[in-house]
Amino acid sequence: MTDVIKRNNVRTIGEGDQAIIFAHGFGCNQNVWRHLVDAYRDQYKLVLFDFVGSGQSDLSAYDSERYGSLDGYTKDVLEILEALNIKNALYIGHSVSSMIGVKAAIAQPSYFSKLIFISPSPCYLNDGDYIGGLDKEDLNNLLALMDSNYLGWSSFLAPQVMGNSDRPALGEELVENFCATDPDIAKEFARVTFLSDNRADLEKLVTESLTLQCAEDILAPLAVGYYLEKKTKGNTLNILEATGHCPHLSAPEEVIAAINAYIDFE
């Protein structure tokens, strides 16, 4: 059997009765959760991990067939929880990991108590009346640039994704994260991320959820938050004052306060 803990560089912190599992987004790793870890490490058992191809994960475990859709990443989450014998966890996912959490909770609802989505999107492409944020042509151009010059693509896109141009260090951190990801794996993960359409999954979710949507986000506009709230039973939408796609890095205090209010944390 695959060593799940090694494969995904799983770390557990704290000894609380309930677990929080943090799932990072594309181009990142578990270090992006450091602000939230500091806020919850004394009261919860925290589970941090890297998706295969990111951070300190086992690159040899990457399989293009397994990870050719979000199903492979969903299996990673479920296998981690199974290996740690965790049920009733609070799941916090950023960006594409929000939909990975949706798929995991549909498959094994007993593993999760609540889901928290940070800057989620069930579909990044505009489609008729649906506003996803990206036109097909723009996305194709981005993917073509990624294929031809991954480092240049990272330096170009990451600061725009982060936003908050008045604090360039934030964008630089995201560039470093993108550049630290295995380029070949990142290219495949990017296509899986941006070309997936998980809108049909939303109506299947029975686990309660919270959406934290930023006021301005080039990848997940406000229309996406309203769509998700409308289509997902038991979903609560909280529009943050924060801007950009990574509020857990740019505005952690606001994110923590919103999570605390949702889970009645004191």
Q: What amino acid positions are annotated as catalytic residues?
A: 95, 217, 245
Tokens 């270090």, residue located: 31
Is the separation of the CB atoms in 93 and 194 below 8 Å? Answer: no
